[in-house]
Structure 1
Amino acid sequence: MCHITLNKVTIFDDNGNLTPGGVRIGTPAMTSRGCLEADFEMMADFLLRAVQIASSVQREHGKVPKSFLKGLESSKEIVELRTRVESFASRFALPGFDI
């Protein structure tokens, strides 16, 4: 919903593969697009904000996926974050695509 893509990965002490506790960001792909250290700091800020928004929505709407997704869809904060992410990402060429 905010145009951030991650891969979920299991980490030490996870209880199975269904609810992994880690994410893989894909830094090789991002560096090939020209991202530098400061850009990764900005991405970390985006991730933190996404988690904060999700936590807030979960407190308000609960953990049931249908209710949670409905809360996210109506979140003005998600729209704002998506706009910031799109603006940031548009600065980096995607190999194989003309933007």
Structure 2
Amino acid sequence: MSAAAVTATDAAVTKMKTADQLTEYYEMRLVELMAIRAILKNPDTASFTMKTNKGITDVQLLDPSEIERIIRITTTRGHRQFYATFLYDKENHRLTKRIEHQ
């Protein structure tokens, strides 16, 4: 009986941890989208920092060519950092690629 209870408890804890991790992942994606939205509203903006209830987000904008812009987003939440890079086509005003880093 006690082994079954421990197994059930472990399963419940694992589900809760997974739910927390998914929540954190999607919260970080929302923060990224907020930053991207700010850039798309004003494509000529410079690098900037946003502070939200989820942490501090640094946005670096690099222009390696006349038609491409690299958008690097780093969100610091507590002692963890989340990174993503987007490629933006300035001629067509479109995001062409998203790269997630560890």
TM-score greater than 0.5 by the shorter chain: no
From the two aligned structures, give the one with the greater strand fraction: 2
| Structure ranking higher on relative contact order (CA contacts 8 Å, 6+ apart) | 1
Larger % of helix: which?
A: 1
Larger Rg over CA atoms: 2
